[in-house]
Chain A
Amino acid sequence: MARERKTTGNRKRLAEEVRRPSFLPSALSPDAGDRPACLDKQSVGATSAVGATSDWLVIGRRALAILSVATLLAFAYNSASPVGIRFRNSASSPSNGSSMGVEKPARPSFPAESISSASSSLQAPPPVAATTNAKGTTPDTTATAPAKPADIALNPKPVVAAALGTNPAPVTWAVLKPRLAAGEVLLLDARAKAPYEAGHIPGAILLSIFSSTDEFAAFRRTYPTNTSLAVYCGSASCPLSQLLAERLVKEFGYQHVEHMTTGYMEWQDSENGKPEVTVSSVAPRPIAADTSGPMPLPVLWDGARGRVEGGELTLVDIRTAAEYAAGHLPGAVSLPAESSSAAIAEFRRNQQPSKPILIYGTWTGSSQTFDYGRRLMKEHGFGRVECLHDGFVDLRLKRTAKAPKI
């Protein structure tokens, strides 16, 4: 058996000697199976450091060859594929990859109570011609004219999502694009105001969980509940669109709500597109005391800072005790996410019942922070929990005047 295998191996190698193109150096000849390449050209006794080095050289060269072939094939396939990734010039990107655009210098402005449009009804998005494109050119791939909301309100069409029985239903941009072009669906941007104004999917209007009750009411008046809606936010890790979608379904009874799960990032990757830059008609309001259901309210540091400093919120660090000891936001108390129920109950007894708590974790946009906040409300009876979208790591790196001193 062993001899048989050996002879087969020898024959194979012999065949390869013949097949090997003459322009290949002998070191690059394909070796059959698992034999180290050095054995092909050196006597067994002379396996030295030189042999080992050239061996690795050969492997390295082959690895490079595999990588180049893979890269070539990959990019060729990607550019041909209808679902390929479209690379953009990231320098001109309006959103720097943060899930809600909060790292942008422009803070989401929550004009304190000065909402002129809060009472006015929600206006339709400006017609396409009036909006300015980022570069003033007609976007090639996004030439789909966004539907006028009036048309949507008049011709609501049932969507597939409803047939499947899930509401809100996940959806991808590829599915949404033609329906948007046909005016069958109204697109909602669930992010904060600043990233929306910096760039959004053409035709999308701003409505987020930061919007006021009045704005929601106005929206409800303008669009009947059989309007097809699709909601997006920054990226897959952003909770805002899911929250908005659930609220539109549960609280306002919209029957066809879809949730574009990968959000603005997917649109950017798909369309190589110029976003529509516009000044929104719906102004967001400061975080109002209208938590509905046992959901923590995601907030941004810039928006919450004033209330933290004014002592209206108890700042709670949910990282481990060791991480807390190594540095934390000023005034924060520690309640690690892995705390026992007894420890949490103890914490709650010492907590003023009327005072909301604001929890923060290590990472920006982490679902862990949000889930913990939800648990605090649901299982431990905290009346009002807000969770900081910004993570400790990013807050520490912030170099603005508004940044907390740590």
Chain B
Amino acid sequence: MKTVIIRWLFGVLFLWAAISKIGNPREFLGSVYAYELPFPRPILQGVAVVLPWVELLCGLLLIAGFWSETAVLGVVALLGIFVLATGQAWARGLKIDCGCLNLDFLGPGLSSSFKFIETTAFAFFRNIALLGLIAWASKGRI
């Protein structure tokens, strides 16, 4: 039961994250550029195109409970990348939105009061916490 709840939690979270990004690849590419990562442009563009779809598939698989170990592995890999990216941005003091989750559905008033969710520092600690949750839930397995 515990694993089902956690699977669903991650599934919904990743679906949300994916849907936030898939709608407008160019906007997401802007978020990727804002991290000022030392990679060539084509790589960053490729990441901006593919990453939301990996999130989408992982989220769907987790919710469906199908290939869930692989999906969990994907989630761990993605979270690892996010921790590194947001961590370096935070450490460098870049004042950027993390581009992780879209809050627009909350409406303009509410989404601005939840703006802290989009800061790199918050995203950094949230991702670490999520990794910890996975480690705790999958103890002894995978």
Contact = CB atoms under 8 A, between A and B. Distances in A.
- Answer yes or no: are A and B bound together in one complex: yes
B40 interface: yes
Interface residues of A, number: 46
Contacts of B68: 33-34
B101 to A, nearest CB: 19
A83 B74 CA distance: 27
Contacts of A367: 93-95
A34 B65 CA distance: 8
13 contacts: A34-B68, A59-B70, A59-B73, A70-B53, A74-B52, A75-B49, A83-B25, A83-B26, A85-B29, A87-B42, A174-B26, A266-B26, A269-B29
Contact of A69 (B27, B42, B45, B57): B57
B80 interface: no
Interface stretch (A108-116, A125-133, A218-226, A358-366): A358-366
Interface string B49-65: 11011101110010001
**Chain B interface, DSSP helix/strand/loop, else mixed:** helix
Contacts of B48: 85
Contact of A70 (B3, B41, B56, B73): B56
B49 A265 contact: no
B5 interface: no
A145 interface: no
B40 A90 contact: yes
Contacts of A121: none
Contacts of B52: 74
A85 B25 contact: yes
A70 B61 CA distance: 12
B139 interface: no
B41 A30 contact: no
A81 interface: yes
Interface in A176-201: none
Interface stretch (A60-68, A207-215, A280-288, A344-352): A60-68
Interface string B92-103: 111100000000
Contacts of B24: 83
A30 B70 CA distance: 11
B8 to A, nearest CB: 12
Interface string B4-48: 000000000000000000101111011001101000111001001
A349 B49 CA distance: 53
A115 B94 CA distance: 37
A237 interface: yes
A85 to B, nearest CB: 5
Nearest to A261: B30
Nearest to B54: A70
B115 interface: no
A362 B26 CA distance: 28
Interface string A35-59: 0110000000000000000000001
Contacts of A261: 30
A97 B39 CA distance: 10
Nearest first, the 3 A-B pairs at minimum CB distance are A70-B53, A62-B70, A74-B53
Contact of B50 (A59, A71, A363): A71
Given A59-B73, A66-B70, A237-B34, 13 more contacts: A30-B67, A34-B141, A63-B74, A83-B27, A85-B26, A85-B29, A85-B45, A93-B41, A97-B41, A262-B33, A269-B26, A363-B92, A367-B93
A235 interface: yes
